Structure 1
Amino acid sequence: MRVGLMISVAMVAVAAASPAQAQADARSYEIEAQDLASALRRFSAASGREVLASAELVAGKRSGGVSGRYDADDALAQLLEGTGLGVETVEGAFVLRPFGGNLAQQHEPEREIVVTGSRIRGAPVASQVIALDQDSIRNRGQATVAEAARTIPQNFGGGQNPGVGRNVPASSGVDVGGAASINLRGLGSDATLTLLNGHRMPYSASRQSIDISAIPLGAVDRIEVVADGASALYGSDAVAGVANIILKRDYEGFETRARLGAATRGGAFSQLYAVTGGGTWAGGGLLLSYEFLRDAPIYARQRPFGGSDPELTFLPALKHHNIVGTGHQDLGGGLELDFDGYYNWRSSWAQYSTNATSRINVPATVENFALAPSLKLSVGAWRATLLGTYGQDHLVVATNTYTLAGALTSTIPNMYRNSARAIEANADGPLFALPGGSAKLAIGAGYRSNHFENFRGPANISNIDRSQDSYFAYGELSLPLVSPDRQMPLVDRLNLSAALRYERYPGIGEIATPKLGLIYGISPDLEFKASWGKSYRAPTFYQRYQLQSLYLAPPSIFGGSYPAGSAVLYAEGGNSALQPERATSWSATAVLHPRGAPGVRLEVGYFHVAYRDRIVTPLIYASQALSNPLYRDSVTLTPSAAAQAAIIAGAGEFRNLTGGAYDPTRVVAIIDNSNVNAAQQTVQGVDILGSYRFDLGASGGLRLTVNASYLESDQRLSALQPETVLAGTLFNPAHWRGRATAAWESGGLVVEGAFNYTGGVSDVRSAPAAWISPMATVDLTLRYRTGDGDGPLSNLDLTLSAANLFDALPGRIATTLPYEAPYDSTNYSPLGRFVSFGIAKRW
């Protein structure tokens, strides 16, 4: 749950519940040291209590945080320690004032609640929520949303991401245009739904991934990740889970920020310059944030494990301009107008070679934007929203071949354009009273349309220009049956939730996805969470409409022994009859926050995903299609003339590789290696989240955190084929990935160290399999913030960071071609030690 801080000209209000819900029961709080405004927002989210204060009162103040189980009064008192502020309670709300001061004139508080994992404002979520706020991201020395996402252990580096090597199988990853995406559990960037303030964003390139590098960090309040199936709430793509980039609701002031950094082994010189500004007024607010980034490439010659081509780029050159705007205005009568929007321009450049006489470079430019206005009407405790979104992602890429002397010999253009538009109406609010609080309902319905264009040149038979509409409706119910104030033995808290979504895709079909959730607190120290649900992913345009190629070829190419003159029809490419991929997910989590050890919180969660009808090309080795009985589902022997005519009629191109004329009587088999709903995957594992914060008195405070994930996954391409292990093998997620941090804060100084671990993988491309060693790195960041004031050295935020302090490098893998990266580029980074210095100033 996330509660936004509303700053008007005279007042700041944080609201999560009505005064009638303001109970004095003890709750668990985990609020790290940060600026006071953010700490109050976190407190309101956790306590369900209003906090009122003048904007001037909280400006520039910091809180030491609170960790442990407290009643609301004690938790707030600890947050305010050392701020010079006191508190009074007025009609159930906390009102802050200077010690000895009088209450300011009171105003009606504004409220905005952004929840990831639920459509109901303020509803608890029965799945683990991984959260990073901007302050903690800066404490790491990170400067972009993409950098922060890469350190989340549940996020796999494959899929659509910069630097994914050309030897990575298409099913595991690709880099088209330098976009960065989130790929939870390694199920694919297209199976992870990424939202901006709860809104969908346009797809990028051909993979239906979402480009998170388009959002400047200066506008971001928080990134929340729910690594659990969520199609019942959000629709297609949320198989592995959902990530929500939540923007700051209000911002008062102006900040400039810069960072310079480079890899100590060479390459990756990085420049970042950013500006964020905003203002608030009675009933409204506006924030604008701009970010410029330029990253130099890393070449193979700059690393000791280089490879056969010294000019191969391990990481591409990147440059981007990003801008985000978000605003809101109270129109009176309970009506509010909100707006979110962004624009991104990015260029990327990479190069490789396929032989010793030429070189290929791949320049790309991307423009994308999205607009999301909404109109909200509050009637009592209910709120109705009418939301519209429109966005587009336009990528132009070329593959240029040069001689070694620099003469251009050929160019292959390619253009991808994705556009998305949607309209949705929804409402949520309380229904009736239950012993644990109010039962709440969310309902909604809407229309969404996506358009995809792939243009490779005039009259090119590979061009695609297609649209897909969908219509949806959903409902979600939250039932708080028992709350802590009931003081029931063995039942401290009990909450049930249920959701159902129906979606219709004309031309594809209909699908309904349910989800159930349970939160059971056995005591104030221990609670259990469980969820079960179904999810789906609609086939991509490229999977459906990619050129269907048909080849007439000798049977010997496919392992067949037939009389001379025999032929085989071999098909590959898109399949317009594809159906949605479907998954059943469940999870169970234990959460420990013992009263006897204040500041300790530990979550251990098990997850299981059974993913079926995955879209694949069924032949791993086409050369064995006629000799390996495992592939017989994809082979039609002695096909009739009618069957041959049908597959020829459906092909976009037909190529005769036999050297003779096509004769249907000589065709001994049809081999279909087109995209098909055939594969089954099972993904399971354990996530461990922990934190411990304690006060060191005059020496400051120390906070320890850990996020570790263990993953097992396997796949069966068809019913006849054997099960193969994915996790722990080359170009698939490692079994173990984790990050542990220790941060010490005293006054304006923060020193944070982090230990990152990615387990080893087996290279099973040859026998015996080769072992690729794990990679462990240490990060160290020093951050210092000067005090408030008007001088040139006031309001400064200085950061010195060394990522991968001891310069660890990835293990080498076997390569045969010059364009192949000699390391697993989906799991390990070639960056080495990266040192950066950042400076920010608030004006």
Structure 2
Amino acid sequence: MSRFSLSALYLSGSIVTAALAVSAPAALAQHSSSIAMALPAQPLGASIRELALRSGQTILVDADVVEGVNGPALQGAFTVEAALDRLLAGTGLVWTRIEGTIIIRKGRGSGQDGESGEGASLLVTGSRIRGAPIPSPVMVLDNRVVRDSGLADLGDVARSLPQSFGGGQNPGVGFNVPSSTGGNVGGGSSVNLRGLGSDATLTVLNGRRVPYDSARQGVDISAIPLAAVDRIEVVADGASAIYGSDAVGGVVNVILRRDYNGVETRARIGGSPDGGNFQQQYGVLAGSRWNDGGGFLTYEYGRNTALMTNQRKYGRIRPDLTLLPASRRHAVAGSIHQDISDNLTIELDGLYNQRTGEFSYPTSGAANLSVSRITQSFDSYTLAFSGAARLLLGSWELGLSGSFGKGRTYFQGDTFINDQFSSRAFGRYNNQTITGEIAGDGPLFALPGGDARLALGVGIRANDFAIFRGVGNINNARPSQDSVYAFGETSFPLVGPAQAVPLMHSLSFSAALRYERYRGLADVVTPKFGMIYAPADFLDIKASWGRSFRAPSFIQLYSIEQAILYPITTFGGRGYPAGTTALLIAGGNSDLKPEKARSWSATMALRPPALPGASFEVSYFQTRYVDRIVNPIPTSALALVNPIYARQITYAPTPEQLAAAIAHASQFLNGAGVPYDPAKVAAIINRANINAGRQTIRGIDAQLAYRTGLADGNIEMSANLTYLDSEQQLLADGPVEQLAGRLFNPPHWRGRGMIGWSKGGFRTAATLSTIGGVKDVRSTPALHIDGMTTIDISARYRFGEEGGLLRGVELGLSVQNILNALPSVVATSLYYDTPYDSTNYSAVGRFIALELVKKW
């Protein structure tokens, strides 16, 4: 199913919010000026495209929805709303407006003539009120934009988004990246908005939670096959008042296709001319629509070969090192919806993903895999089901929804000496999530700008986790975490266009409050307030303020606590008698509390009347993130040297204090090389996890878009640019450290722009991406690491009904990083250190892909 954007607002390289079940135009219509139209009776898609170009407004519609549907002739002066009403009359299609974007799709009972969207349900990402405007910064990316960019899966999409940092759970993240910044355990990909951590970005599927990935509280977005996705939507702002834990940096909502009609097969192969990372992807999509429902099912298979340093310029620095692991995956996704009656609808979504892979690295100064190496392998899967029943009671909608998901990540490391197997280490992470919710929303009373609306709901969530490292292993654990919650949200449109108030086209306020209770952990209350003021129909000014939180992860809570005896010199101790020791306490902490954040943003969105088809949006954002869970003494050798660690140290401990510390720990180890003697222990050093860290982030997002006609076709231009500044303080008495612009942290600047042209079945696009440089502060003076700028081009052609044997065939070619840019080299100290910043830059280089699609 292709989806085309008929609009003035085409935000490539950005992601936006607007999930919809079906539409409610009567409640959401915005007044606009009349446009002279002279359209003949013709295919409906052509009429909608012309309306979008003439009005300069965004209109999104699935090409399959309007395929074979003819529109009536349209003569005279009409508002956009009136023109749509006439064009869609009798088609069973309905429209709605979300954040200035008009979306057209099939309505309930779409087989009936004259169907309207009145009373139908519309949910917006970032709000629980149907059709509510969103005061937070928003971005949108649909399936067609992804394909125009030449991207293969949602992991690529996440890494291409300027607002997302490549640290966290992502393939190719090297061992020299700090564990607090990122890692690669199961080969998955996560979104990491603002660089706050993949565990501080909530990723949901059709608005509902899916299981976490491996040990971190992140979600593998690449588990969802691209063919199943209608669009991706993001609110890049704190959203815990709406969604609960984890939505500190924002929320990413992956919305599946509503349904599909027919069968489509797809094959894509690609590779780098310099070698490595040869990719194959094959898939089939099948579905059907009927008068009162529809559904689809898709299967996708993908595999890629490994990328090694020897295949790039890095081989002379760190030979035989895997930069990207070899992997293969099977993924299945589907969705079905059915109208049981005129006011009751049920829907069910499903997802399964299974992935295997491996990579190797040398373990000796010989830097030769045949001399000594470790081969790491992983085998992971994700299974998720969710469903909902929605009941319309007049103007109110009641919903009962639930989800079940589980994931497993098995990892294994085999050591080889002289190509002979030597030893094995392995482990397994299991995650399970069950949710249930009852919610409803509807109008309360009339206000001058429209109806005041209310949403209320209650729900439960149960998370289970297990870590298994072998029979009888002390690290084995099976903790669980339950929570109950209640929320309320209101929307007050105080002024509307009909009132004709000077310099106040519209004015609305919103408020949300959520209470969540975690059994045995904490009670958390998170509010959020918003305002949208439009002095004219072409200018919106938005502001939001709210609190968010992240519950501690299972690993942070329940990792074993170890008491380890070391020589006092290990921690920088000097002047002590020979044989003096110190007791180190390290590991999890079951007394941890949730991390908390306070965020606010201000946004201006402009659609200049003098330039139809153009839009500009700029946002300022700021988040203060406190009580972050940290290791309070990151450098053991400075524990007794730096006075900022004094609160974590007990000097001259008594025998009773030592006995209590050892008894509290799960394991006591003696690494001092001498027998344990309480009289010779000079200090207890506690570096177990604590709530102490603070982070502040601030920055600016800018989005530009323009669409117009050119050479009997349509040209679309867009840009998404972000500037980020962030800093961190691990302890209250510690120094404030810069994060953004430093090695293995987000750069200050990232941007992505695209220009595309389409005519008939032909589409072509060019994308420019730039990632700013960073400083390597591991040396004095600090070294500047150059950023990267890449150019991608793509072209697709779809044969029409007159194509004969090629009817329904689409051919595509894309070349990414056409100039073959590669990351700058960074200093390394170990033979398995990745010799570039693997959180920000890619060593794939030029990549060429061919795609063949056939609709049957």
TM-score relative to the length of structure 2: 0.90
Q: How does 1:365-384 map to 2 (within 5 A)?
A: 365-384=379-398
Which residue, out of 693, 699, 703, partners 1:679?
A: 693
Paired residue secondary structure (1:644): helix
Q: 1:343 aligns with which of 327, 352, 367?
A: 352
CA contact (8 A) 2:596 2:625 kept: yes
Deviations 1:435-492 (A, max 9, x none): 1111111111111110110100000001121101111111111111112232211111
Q: Give the distance between the partners of 1:49 and 1:600, measured in 2 at CA.
A: 10
Q: Distance in 1 between matches of 2:360 and 2:159?
A: 24
Distance 1:347 1:654 in 2: 36
Which amino acid counterpart does residue 71 of structure 1 have in structure 2?
T
Q: Partners of 2:386 and 2:542 in 1: how far apart? A: 33
Match of 1:294 in 2: 303
Matched, 1:546 2:559: yes
Contact persistence 2:588–2:689 (CA under 8 A) = yes
Once residues 743 and 159 of structure 2 are traced to their aligned partners in structure 1, the CA distance between those partners, rounded to angstroms, is: 19
- Displacement after TM superposition at 1:308 (Å): 4.2
1:25 aligns with 2:38: no
Amino acid across the alignment from 1:781: S
Name the structure 1 match of 2:67: 59
After TM superposition, list the pairs within 5 Å mapping 1:67-78 onto structure 2.
71-73=79-81, 76=84
1:761-780 aligned at under 5 Å gives the runs 761-780=774-793
Is 1:522 the counterpart of 2:535? The answer is: yes
Match of 2:749 among 720, 724, 736: 736
- The answer to whether structure 1 residue 240 and structure 2 residue 254 are counterparts is no
Supply the distance in 1 between the matched residues of 2:475 and 2:548 (Cα, whole angstroms).
31
Distance 1:718 1:580 in 2: 17
- 1:416, 1:552 → 2: CA distance? 29
SS in structure 2 of the partner of residue 238 of structure 1: coil
Query: Contact 1:760 / 1:775 at 8 angstroms: preserved in 2?
Result: yes
Match 1:305 to one of 271, 290, 314: 314
Give the counterpart letter for 1:715 in structure 2. Q
Give the residue type in structure 1 aligned to 2:658. Answer: Q
Is contact 2:191–2:203 with CA below 8 Å preserved after alignment? yes
CA distance in 2, matches of 1:779, 1:94: 34
Change (3 A) 1:90 1:177: closer
Distance (Å, rounded) in 2 between the aligned partners of 1:727 and 1:58: 46
Shift of 1:86: 5.0
Matches for 1:305-704 after TM superposition, within 5 Å? 305-306=314-315, 308-332=317-341, 334-355=343-364, 356=366, 357-404=371-418, 406-561=419-574, 562-696=576-710, 698-704=711-717
Structure 2 residue 824 is matched with structure 1 residue 811: yes
> Is the Cα–Cα contact under 8 Å of residues 3 and 112 in structure 1 kept in the other structure?
no
Q: 8 Å contact 1:307–1:821 — kept in the other structure?
A: no
Match of 1:793 in 2: 806
Separation (CA, whole Å) in 2 of partners of 1:49 and 1:205: 39
Write the letter of the residue equivalent to 2:170: N
Question: Residue 16 of structure 1 aligns with which residue?
Answer: 24
Q: Distance in 2 between matches of 1:528 and 1:673?
A: 46
Is there any run of 5+ residues in structure 1 with no aligned partner, and where? 6-13, 29-33, 64-68, 78-84, 97-102
- Kept after mapping to 2: 8 A contact 1:710/1:736: yes
Alpha-carbon separation, structure 1, partners of 2:47 and 2:317: 51
Q: Deviation digits for residues 272-322 of structure 1, max 9, x if unmatched?
A: 111111111121111111111101110010001235442211011121111
8 A contact 1:748–1:786 mirrored in 2: yes
In structure 2, runs of 5+ residues without a counterpart are 1-16, 36-42, 72-76, 97-103, 105-110
Distance 1:37 1:813, change over 3 A: farther
More deviation in 603-612 or 744-753? 744-753
Alpha-carbon deviation of 1:325?
A: 1.1
**CA–CA separation in structure 1 for the residues paired with 2:324 and 2:183:** 13
1:162 aligned partner, one-letter code:
P
Asked if the contact 1:49/1:94 (under 8 Å) is kept, the reply is: no
**1:49 to 1:557, Cα distance in 2 relative to 1, 3 A:** closer
SS of the aligned residue for 2:391 comes to strand
How far the C-alpha of 1:49 sits from its partner, in A, is 14
How far apart are the structure 1 equivalents of 2:199 and 2:47?
33
Matched to 1:295, the amino acid is: N
User: 1:9 aligns to what?
Assistant: none
Matches of 1:497 and 1:86, distance apart in 2: 34
Q: Deviations over 1:95-124 (max 9, x none)?
A: 99xxxxxx9844576945341111111111
Closer, same or farther: CA 614–24 of 1 in aligned 2, 3 Å: closer
| Rounded Cα–Cα distance in structure 1 between residues aligned with 2:58 and 2:767 | 34
**Residue type at the aligned position of 2:25:** A
Matched residue type, 1:828: Y
Q: Alignment partner of 1:306: what SS?
A: helix
Report if aligned partners of 1:50, 1:94 keep a CA contact under 8 Å in 2: no
Q: Deviations over 1:493-522 (max 9, x none)?
A: 111110000001111110100000111112
Q: Give the distance between the partners of 2:392 and 2:849, measured in 1 at CA.
A: 47
CA contact (8 A) 2:398 2:439 kept: yes
Tell me whether 1:118 sits opposite 2:132 in the alignment.
Answer: no
Alpha-carbon distance change, 35 to 4 in structure 1, aligned in 2, over 3 angstroms: farther
Distance in 2 (CA, whole Å) between partners of 1:338 and 1:559 is 62
Q: CA RMSD in A?
A: 2.9
How far residue 326 of structure 1 moved from its aligned partner, in angstroms, is: 0.6
Shift of 1:373: 1.6
Question: What SS does the aligned partner of 1:485 have?
Answer: helix
Structure 1 partner of 2:833:
820
1:254 alignment partner, one of 260, 263, 270: 263
User: Partners in 2 of 1:684 and 1:530 — Cα distance?
Assistant: 15
Deviation at 1:643, TM superposition (A): 2.4
In the TM superposition, what whole-angstrom CA distance separates every residue of 1:689-737 from its partner, at most 9, and x where no partner exists?
11011112x4312111000110000000101110000000000000000
Aligned to 1:128: 137
Deviations 1:229-262 (A, max 9, x none): 0000000000000000001112111111111100
